[in-house]
Amino acid sequence: MAVVARDSEPGAAAGASRPAAASRLMASMAGLDWLARIWWAFLSISLFAGLWELCWAMGWADEKLLPPPHIFLDNIAEQGRYFNTATRWQVGQSMTEGPSAFESVLITGAATTARVFVGLIIASVLAIGVGVLIRYYRFFDRLVLPTITLLSPVSPIAWLPVAIFLFGIGNAPAIFMVVVALFFHMVLATINQIDTVNTNLINVARTMGASKAQIYARVIVPAILPGMLQVLRMNLFGAWMVVLVAESTGVGYGMGQVIMLARNTFNPSLVFFTIAVIGVLGFTFDWLLRLAQRRILYWLPDTVERLRVL
Amino acid sequence: MSSEDAPHFSSKDAVVCRGVGKTWAAGTKRAHNALTDIDLDVAPGEFVVFLGPSGCGKSTLLYLIAGLEDATEGKLWSFGDLVETPSPERSLIFQETSLFPWLTVWENVSFGLSIRGASKDERRTVAAEALQRVGLKAAMDKRPDELSGGMRQRVAVARALAMRPRVLLMDEPFAALDVQTRARMQDFLLDVWRDSGASVLFVTHHIDEAVALADRVVVFTSRPGRIKTIVPIEMSRPRNLFSREAENLRIQLTDLLRDEVDRAFAEQEAFAIPA
Ligand SMILES: Nc1ncnc2c1ncn2[C@@H]1O[C@H](COP(=O)(O)OP(=O)(O)O)[C@@H](O)[C@H]1O
Ligand SMILES: [Mg+2]
């Protein structure tokens, strides 16, 4: 049990020699932990970019097809102009008016992020709600679960036409796509989580005279939250993919739209620039979610720490 | 109508079992008779220990008494009332910690009160009092994962006590603790038991623990679980566990158990190597 393992940690650390020394060093730097992490992230990305640049310098990578970072990041103002399409399309501005290149990138990125975020919230609330109802009411289980199981393996891409039929153009179809991509899996995950709640916890509540509703509200839902946040994080990247597809097929504006534009105008630099922006957004989003996870689920031990002593 | 079908039983004993049996997954292919023919009376304030090899149905019987599972044969009563559902009068404490990890210690202890809709002030008062009794008042605002295994089990005891139960059901509550901590916890439990006046039904597979705690030791046979014999312990308390009397009891209980463990092993081997 992880909790017990944590109790015995000081003893274990004293017993092991080298790894323990390393972990002590790490612990003493705990205050600078975030700095170290940023440093490692920087190193990791630099290494990747460096290799790419090397390929370019050696002439292995054609700069017209695979422009290295220093080229596609060179002219942000130029690239940012294309992001402007979105807002221009919305407010009917001409190419020369409207937000600056930098603002355009921000607005477009924020629009896409907002869709992912809203979709995530709607999908979580719906999925946990439906999952709990399925376990709570037998008849609801029998009535609804077969359909959900049937629909869950369907690729979200298949829902794209439906999104357009139902919601036309704008935020709604993109959000709908995110919700559809997450909802079915998350319902099944909720049910699975409920089924694996420690029986003792439920029995304790039962002996104290808790009603079925109280057991669900006070024991089962809090008990499944950690697992659900984990499921949410694992599905986050799926949500990002779907939202790009939704945007690129003309259901709105956003990062997906820019990728589509880059493709149609054969602009590899713009493609890679957009990929870089999406990467940063996705990474930040996951980081925020992890932060939230640690805040909301303060009672969970840090699972990474467990492996570090090995 | 015989007295055993009646909703009320003439005996006001803390627990009465008559012909109690449990078949898990009854009526299916995996049907499994865990417990049969249990007749048992536990007096108010009595300390009864269930002793037997693993898998002989001790936990199952505790669950039936708690009302968490239905008996497939026979009937159970508690203080004259038929046991049909769980009740706050009969608190169950498990081997592994069963504290709610998302609640603080005092919120855990007063969980039962919050179920009844008690105010926060009242809950905190009751929790403080219960934690005082287990010597953990200072840990009120801690989280369960900040506590050691022994402390967590004491919180679990406090949580049970906060319900003012008349029967405390304990399923190997100290099995996961180290030997020294376990000895301390046994002393502590005897104090709590004396103060509360509740009957305690305590499951263990440790003979030492049975000798240290019990007024009576119920020894089980294995597969299906039956009561093999009931050994009364008349040693005065506090007990000297190194006395001649204690030693003789340990020898007696060891002999009783050895037969059962041998039998269980023989059965498992026969099962593992089909003829
Ligand atoms: N919930 C359950 N469902 C099916 N079988 C069970 C269940 N709980 C216990 N059993 C079976 O009943 C038998 C007795 O188990 P248990 O009462 O836990 O034994 P003990 O506590 O004495 O070790 C075992 O063979 C076990 O596999
Ligand atoms: Mg057991």
pLDDT, one tens digit per residue, over A3-41 is 333 333 343 434 444 555 666 655 555 567 778 888 888
Residue A101 lies in a domain: no
Give Dmax (Cα) for chain B: 66
pLDDT, one tens digit per residue, over A58-94 is 888 887 888 888 888 877 777 777 776 545 455 555 5
Please give all residues whose CB falls under 5 A of ion ligand 2, grouped by chain where several chains appear: B 59
Contacts of B237 (CB under 8 A, 6+ apart): B190
Residue A99 lies in a domain: no
Residue for token pair 């501005």: A93
Q: Please work out whether the CB of residue B36 comes within 6 Å of at least one atom of ligand 1.
A: no
Q: Nearest Cβ partner of B92 from A207, A214, A301?
A: A207
Give Dmax (Cα) for chain A: 75
Output the pLDDT for position A157. 85
DSSP state, B32? Answer: E
Q: Could you tell me the CA-to-CA distances from B167 to A68, B42, B93, B249 in Å, in that order?
A: 74, 10, 11, 26
DSSP state, A186? Answer: H
Q: Tell me which residue of A255, A309, A4 sits closest to A114, measured CA to CA.
A: A255
Residue B96 with chain A: CB contacts under 8 Å: 1, 200
Q: Nearest Cβ partner of A207 from B91, B102, B148?
A: B91
**B86 within 8 A of B68, measured Cβ to Cβ:** yes
pLDDT, one tens digit per residue, over A229-252 is 888 888 888 888 888 888 887 666
Residue A63 has a CB neighbour count (10 Å cut-off) of: 13
CATH superfamily entry for domain B1-89+167-259: P-loop containing nucleotide triphosphate hydrolases (3.40.50.300)
Q: Please work out whether the CB of residue B24 comes within 6 Å of at least one atom of ligand 1.
A: yes
ipTM over 0.90: no
Alpha carbons B21 and B31: distance in angstroms, whole number: 13
Residue A80 lies in a domain: no
Interface test with A, best of B145, B151, B152, B155 (most A CBs within 10 A): B145
Question: What torsion, rounded to 10 degrees, do the Cα atoms B80, B83, B87, B93 define?
Answer: 110
Residue of minimum CA distance from atom 18 in ligand 1: B59
Residue A278 lies in a domain: yes
> Is residue A122 pLDDT above 50, yes or no?
yes
Question: Any chain B CB within 8 A of the CB of A3?
Answer: yes
DSSP per residue, A267-292:
-HHHHHHHHHHHHHHHHHHHHHHHHH
- What are the extents of the domains in chain B? 1-89+167-259, 97-164
CA of B177 to the centre of ligand 1 (A): 22
Q: Tell me which residue of B204, B99, B211 sits closest to B156, measured CA to CA.
A: B99
The domain that contains A271 carries what CATH number? 1.10.3720.10
CA of A223 to the centre of ligand 2 (A): 24
Output the pLDDT for position B180. 83
Contacts of B271 (CB under 8 A, 6+ apart): none
Are B115 and A218 within 8 A, CB to CB?
yes
Window 148-207 of A: residues touching B by CB (8 A cutoff) are: 198, 200-201, 203-207
Alpha carbons A89 and A242: distance in angstroms, whole number: 22
Pocket test for ligand 1, best of B22, B32, B70 (most atoms within 8 A of CB): B32
How many domains does chain A contain in total?
A: 1
Residue A161 lies in a domain: yes
Q: Which domain holds residue A239?
A: 107-297
Tens digits of pLDDT across chain B (275 residues): 444 455 556 678 888 999 999 999 888 888 888 899 999 999 999 999 999 888 889 999 999 999 999 999 999 999 888 898 999 899 999 888 789 999 999 999 999 999 988 899 999 999 998 898 888 888 899 999 888 888 898 899 889 888 889 999 999 988 888 888 888 888 888 988 998 889 999 999 899 999 999 999 999 988 788 999 999 999 888 888 899 999 999 999 999 988 877 877 777 777 666 54
Output the pLDDT for position B169. 94
Q: Tell me which residue of A114, A72, A123 sits closest to A275, measured CA to CA.
A: A72
3-state SS, one letter per residue, for B212-251: HHCCEEEEECCCCECEEEEEECCCCCCCCCCCHHHHHHHH
Position B18, amino acid: R
**A156 within 8 A of A180, measured Cβ to Cβ:** yes
Which atom in ligand 1 lies closest to the alpha carbon of residue B172? 21
Are A6 and B145 within 8 A, CB to CB?
yes
Q: Which residue of A has its CA nearest to B103?
A: A299
Residue A218 with chain B: CB contacts under 8 Å: 111, 114-115
Position A96, amino acid: T
**B147 within 8 A of B139, measured Cβ to Cβ:** yes
Q: Is A259 helix (H, G, I), strand (E, B) or coil?
A: helix
Q: Please work out whether the CB of residue B59 comes within 6 Å of at least one atom of ligand 1.
A: yes
Alpha carbons A10 and A117: distance in angstroms, whole number: 41
Q: Could you tell me the CA-to-CA distances from B14 to A8, B119, B189 in Å, in that order?
A: 40, 31, 19
- For A28-44, b/e burial (b = at least 16 CB within 10 A) is eeeeeeeeeeeeeeeee
A264 band by pLDDT with thresholds 50, 70 and 90: confident
Q: Nearest Cβ partner of A207 from B86, B96, B102?
A: B86
Which sign does the torsion angle of CA B82, B85, B90, B94 carry?
A: positive
Output the pLDDT for position A12. 40
Alpha carbons B86 and B66: distance in angstroms, whole number: 6
Alpha carbons B126 and B120: distance in angstroms, whole number: 10
Question: What torsion, rounded to 10 degrees, do the Cα atoms B255, B256, B258, B263 define?
Answer: 140
pLDDT, one tens digit per residue, over A137-146 is 999 999 999 9
